Amino acid sequence: MGSPEHTDQVVPSYKYQPVDAAKSEIRLLWVPQKANRSSSNSGYALTTSILDGGRDFVALSYCWGGQPLDRPITISGSQMFITESLDNALSSLRSKDDGFYIWADAICINQQDDNEKTWQVQLMRRIYGAATRVVIWLGPSTAASDHAFIGIRELGRLLIEIGLWDAVIQQSNELVSWLSGKRDEQASFRVRRTILNVMAQHLDHARNDRHPFKWLSAELYRRPWFNRVWCIQECTNARTATFRCGQSEADFTMVAAVSFYMRLFGMYLRGLLIGPLKHQAQANALADTLYSPIPTTIMDLRMKCLVSPGHNLRHYLDQINVRNNPQEGVMDATQDIDRVYALLGVASGEAAAEIVPDYSLSCAQAYTVTARALLEHGHDDILSLCRSERRTLGLPSWVPDWAAPMRTPWSLFNRTDWSFSACGCFNGRLTVMDMSSIGRHSPSLALRGVMVDTIGEAGHCFHLNVDEIPDRSFLVTLRPYFCDITAYLSKSKQYTPEQKAHAEWRIPIGDGHSDDLKSEYVRAPADSHMKVGLEHAKTEYGWNNTGTMFEVFTDDTRPYACFIDRFRRMYDSRPFFSRTGYVGLCPKESQPGDVIAILMGVRVPYIIRPSAQRTWTLIGEAYVHSIMDGEFMDTNPTIEDITLV
């Protein structure tokens, strides 16, 4: 009998052993030392460990990036497939000297078990906090990235030595005021002066044709890690974090210090810290080359947690999903449901504590649970985020679509002291349906509120796409928009002549005011220069037919610039005239017959539309002149049930 034919040995697929949720067990991957001839994808082993008091381990922060699972590795004689990114990271980290334990989510969590995935995800804050260090894997190295890491380490060490890192930690959001001398603290004068001297030296190098930052690499800073939502909690919760690209490394503090310095140096070049420079044109040209040299969203969030831990979920959702201008990027997530779940590991507060990452829910259900939790705990401003044109998930009208592009609402500037108070002194809380019978992801939201009036006329629209950067002439076509406001006010019997004069300039800008383009918006005072800004705009665009702005107003163009900047934020609005004479702005989707409502516990009025079975569809926020501070509530209106769907 002949010998049997040779057959290739089939390597069995790796089968996970269960981990104990009650003991907070996790899996750790043993990465053996690299032998000279061993394959980099073999010799691994998975073991269990308790999270508190267990084995020391390194945690890996990296991007899946939508890559296929096509790289085989051998774990205890069995085979598992991972992404190219993870395979490259493990190969790079593997040392000839010692083996070590590492935690990497794609391997250490059974991705096919939704129950395990749900409770293991809840441990990720603790996992990254317990790791001896977090390695941030940016990908394989290139000549440009290696050069950039050398420059980052060199400049980073200098900045840390002269005190920039300490200044960032101590001054937090007031760093610019501190550096410009607006906060004159004698104890930190030396640090401030040293930083400004370094900037002056870098500018001097540039004037002598020696670019001070030739090592800056757009290729490095466009690595996807900087733009992935899961990486936020991985970086933020780390005790120690290290950026790694190939074999090059740099500590987080160095990269963050360089990032802050680049932004400050750009402001210095544009004369925003110490006034115009001697060679301002040349300085501006250099500043243009430094625009956003390092993506900063994730690093800023880690800095905020280091300075002031305890930011709520609403804050993080705003930071990663809401865009103040078209130039801002949007954080990416492989699954849209993770735009919420990935933030639970860094967010604090009652709303975040109520939400459990449940991968058995649809994305729409998860977003609904999130919205309800936020509303129940006082974050009524999320209702102003429900206006995206690109909503595709079939969500209830009162639930923000975190997967769709969204911009800062008209009334929302991350400031609690600026907010309107349409409810006046009414301190009622949102009234929510009994969830025990219909579930927390029910599409209905029952509130208490008052019906103010019905829209009688809706005027011309100011439309602005989320990705559109309007040029200087965008107001030319909007004369009908402003004429609508004037016409509606002229025929209204709700306002006195003095109120109408104020409403003429307050309505187009939603009653916002800023002293200059660098300051935050506040409620407009009676003597606001925004009124002058509107007159500038009318003249500039020929509405008054009296010449150009620069011929008539030669002393100060600041009011015009502030008015235009604020007006641009009133995107997708149209003037309206209500049946009893109220005038204001409503969403462009509004139409005659829609109702102006004040919802109890909510700060701004909203437009709602009758739906089936005595329910209502939320259309969006509104600015209604003379009811934004509780004036209508002083008339003792009837409070009734309003159910949004």
Residue where a domain terminates, one of 539, 571, 603? 571
Please name which of 432, 425, 388 lies closest in space to residue 603, comparing C-alpha atoms: 425
Which DSSP string do the residues of 505-569 spell out, in sequence order? HHGGGTTEE-SSTTSPPEEPPTT-THHHHHHHHHHHTTSS-S--HHHH--S--HHHHHHHHHHHT
Within this chain, do residues 162 and 261 fall inside the same structural domain, yes or no?
A: yes
Tell me the percentage of the chain whose pLDDT exceeds 70.
Answer: 82
Pairing of strands 512-513, 522-523: antiparallel
Average pLDDT score over residue span 131-144: 94
Within this chain, do residues 115 and 177 fall inside the same structural domain, yes or no?
A: no
Domain-embedded: residue 584: no
List the domain range (segments joined by +) for residue 95.
25-131
pLDDT at 185 > cutoff 80: no
Within this chain, do residues 289 and 321 fall inside the same structural domain, yes or no?
A: no
Residue where a domain terminates, one of 250, 280, 307? 307
Within this chain, do residues 433 and 476 fall inside the same structural domain, yes or no?
A: no
Within this chain, do residues 339 and 290 fall inside the same structural domain, yes or no?
A: no
Domain count, the chain: 4
Domain-embedded: residue 475: yes
Within this chain, do residues 403 and 479 fall inside the same structural domain, yes or no?
A: no
Average pLDDT score over residue span 76-81: 92
Q: What is the pLDDT of residues 559-618, one digit of tens each?
A: 888 888 889 889 999 999 999 999 999 999 999 999 999 999 888 999 999 998 899 999
Domain-embedded: residue 576: no
Cα–Cα distance, 322 to 404 (Å, whole number): 10
Domain-embedded: residue 1: no
Domain-embedded: residue 579: no
- pLDDT value of residue 608: 98
Average pLDDT score over residue span 478-505: 95
Residue where a domain terminates, one of 307, 341, 372? 307
Q: Are 439 and 361 in contact (CB under 8 A)?
A: no
Phi/psi at 555 (5° precision): -85, -40
Within this chain, do residues 276 and 300 fall inside the same structural domain, yes or no?
A: yes
Within this chain, do residues 294 and 336 fall inside the same structural domain, yes or no?
A: no
Within this chain, do residues 565 and 622 fall inside the same structural domain, yes or no?
A: no
Cα–Cα distance, 191 to 189 (Å, whole number): 6
Within this chain, do residues 53 and 189 fall inside the same structural domain, yes or no?
A: no
Domain-embedded: residue 18: no
Q: What is the pTM of this model?
A: 0.83
Which pair of tokens denotes residue 633? 């509530």
pLDDT at 5 > cutoff 70: no
Within this chain, do residues 322 and 301 fall inside the same structural domain, yes or no?
A: no
Within this chain, do residues 412 and 375 fall inside the same structural domain, yes or no?
A: yes
Please name which of 456, 471, 461 lies closest in space to residue 583, comparing C-alpha atoms: 456
Burial class (CB in 10 A: 0-12, 13-18, 19+), 567: buried
Domain-embedded: residue 231: yes
Which range is least confidently modeled, 173-177, 396-400, 520-524? 173-177
Beta carbons within 8 Å of 45's beta carbon, 6+ residues apart: 29, 30, 75, 76
Domain-embedded: residue 593: yes
pLDDT at 112 > cutoff 50: yes
